[in-house]
Each structure stands twice: as structure tokens, then as C-alpha cells.
Amino acid sequence: MNNKQSFLRHFLLGFLSFVCTVLLSSLAIVMIIEHTLFSSNFLIASAEKSNYYSELSKDIKTNIQDLGMGSGIPKDVIQTPVSQEQIKVDVNSYIKHAFNGAQVLGDKEAFKKNLTTNVTAYAEKRDSTISETEKQNIQKFADTAYANYTEYVEIPFLPAFGQKVQVFKANSLIFKIILISCLVLLLILLWYLLHTWIHRLLRYLSYVFSGSALILGVIPLIILISRIIDHISITSKPLYDLTTSFLKGSLMHFVVVSMVFLVISVVSGLSANRLRNKKIKS
């Protein structure tokens, strides 16, 4: 009878530890995703880290200069069609609005004014008078340049991704409350069953954190080591650098949190052994 009771007790404790592991891992996954993959601030930080703004600025400048060359406008006339700081403002604004389920475009008139001023000055320098047709052509050039500019500023996958973020945010709070409530209740139950044997409680907590560390860290670590992300097929170099930096940064958060859990597991395990040995000696 005692053996049967002992088996049932160990089975119950093992099952509770397993469920706690699943709940803790799920809670950690939700919170990491919320603060990385589904965070506009994290994407903006990834853009800074990957030099996205400077690389994008070069591509935009080249594109508009090539467009100007097709209209007979020398490259030196369009040295700075739009400043890198303005590109950064427009990209960040686009990211934040996309994550909130809306789209926003930059200041079209300010962009066109800067461009038309330079082109008009060049035209006036070449010819003392500018015909209405030339003025219309300059405006058409500015409109086309702005259309090209917005294509560079807009990140293709972001609007659809932003919709998924909205769905996630709508349910994440309730999901986190459920996970935290269940986890706290199970931890209280573990404490109730083992509070007279603190070393056993620490040992089972060690199991919980070590299991969570494995769940969180193994797959992200394999992905990072195998460099699968580097083989993503994106033709635009700035967008490629941004996407890979964004994904790698998110995976690194999983690895870091798993390492923290592993440290807690080791500390709990060592403390459990120390208390157990101390109890045996006494």
C-alpha cells in the first residue's frame, strides 16, 4: 500500500511539474513574441541595427537619379532627393501605423517641393525661361519619383503581418491571465504538497525551469546555428538585412530567456542537493 501511495504521489508531482513546465514555456513564448516579432519598436530597433535607413537611402537616391537621367536630368542635380532623416521618419511612421492596422504615407508635398526646386533651378540655369510643358514634365517627374519613393518606404509583408498582430493583441491579455493564474495555482499546489520537504520542492522547480529552458532554447538555437535565416530569398539588400536581423534578434531572445531559466534550474538543483545533504547529516 505504501509503495502504491508513493508511486501515486511521485506520479502526481511529476505530472504537476510537467504541466507547470508547459504553462511557464507558453507564457514565456507569448511574452517574447509580444515584445519582439509583434512589436513595432523591436522592428524599428532592428532597422537601426541593420543600417536599414542608410542602405535604403542609397537605393532611393540611385532610383530617383536614374529616373532623372531618363528625363535628361544630370545626377548631380538630384544629389539628395530626400534626406536620410526624413526616410527614417517616414519608415518608422509606416511601421508603427502598419502594426496598428493602418497605413500612412509621407508628406508628398514636402518631398515634391524639394525635388521640383532643384530640377526647376537646373532648368532655369540651362534656359532662362521654362515653358508650361516643361513645368508639367517636372511635376510628372516629381509625382513618379514620389511613387517610387513610397514603394521603397513601404515594407511589402507588413500590412498583412500587422493584421495578425492586431488579432494576437486582442487575445494575448486574456491568454496571459489564464496562463499566469493556472501556473500560480499549480505552484501553490506543489508548495502545499512539498512545503515540509523544501529540498524536494526546489528539485521539482529545477525540473520545471530546465524543461522550460529546453522548450524555449533548443529549436531557436538550431535555427541560428544552421543559418537557415541567411538563405531567405529577398532581392532587396536593405530589406534582406532588416528581415534577417529582425528574425535573428527574436530568436536570440528565446535563447537568452532559456539560458536564464537554465541558470535558475541549476541554482535550484544545487540548493536542493545542499538542503538534502544537510538534512541527512542532521
Query: At which residue does the C-alpha cell 532588416 appear?
Result: 242
Query: Whole-angstrom Cα distance, residue 146 to residue 153?
Result: 10
Predicted pLDDT of residue 82: 86
Torsions phi, psi of 156, nearest 5? Answer: -50, -45
181 and 222 part of one domain: yes
**How many C-beta neighbours within 10 Å does residue 196 have?**
8
Walk along the chain (282 residues) and give the pLDDT tens digit of each residue: 467 777 788 888 889 999 999 999 999 999 999 999 999 999 999 999 999 999 999 999 999 999 988 878 888 888 888 889 989 999 999 999 988 876 666 677 778 888 888 888 888 777 767 778 878 888 898 889 999 999 999 988 888 888 889 899 889 999 999 999 999 999 999 999 887 788 889 999 999 999 999 999 999 999 999 999 999 999 999 999 999 999 999 999 999 999 999 999 999 999 988 888 877 776
219 and 264 part of one domain: yes
Predicted pLDDT of residue 131: 77
Predicted pLDDT of residue 102: 64
Predicted pLDDT of residue 106: 66
Query: Whole-angstrom Cα distance, residue 89 to residue 96?
Result: 11
User: How many distinct structural domains can be found in the chain?
Assistant: 2
Predicted pLDDT of residue 266: 96
- Tell whether 45 is covered by a domain: no
143 and 174 part of one domain: no
Predicted pLDDT of residue 20: 96
Predicted pLDDT of residue 78: 83
> Which sign, positive or negative, has the C-alpha torsion 70, 147, 119, 79?
negative
68 and 140 part of one domain: yes
pTM for this model (two decimals): 0.87
- Tell whether 110 is covered by a domain: yes
- Tell whether 252 is covered by a domain: yes
Q: Residue 235's domain spans which residues? A: 2-35+160-281
**274 with 203: CB under 8 angstroms?**
no
17 and 128 part of one domain: no
Cα first-last separation, the chain: 29
The length of the chain in residues reads 282
Predicted pLDDT of residue 1: 46
- Tell whether 43 is covered by a domain: no
Contacts of 146 (CB under 8 A, 6+ apart): 108, 111, 112, 115
147 and 167 part of one domain: no
Directed axis angle between helix 158-194 and helix 198-226, to 10°? 160
146 and 174 part of one domain: no
197 and 243 part of one domain: yes
Contacts of 109 (CB under 8 A, 6+ apart): none
Predicted pLDDT of residue 282: 65
Predicted pLDDT of residue 2: 66
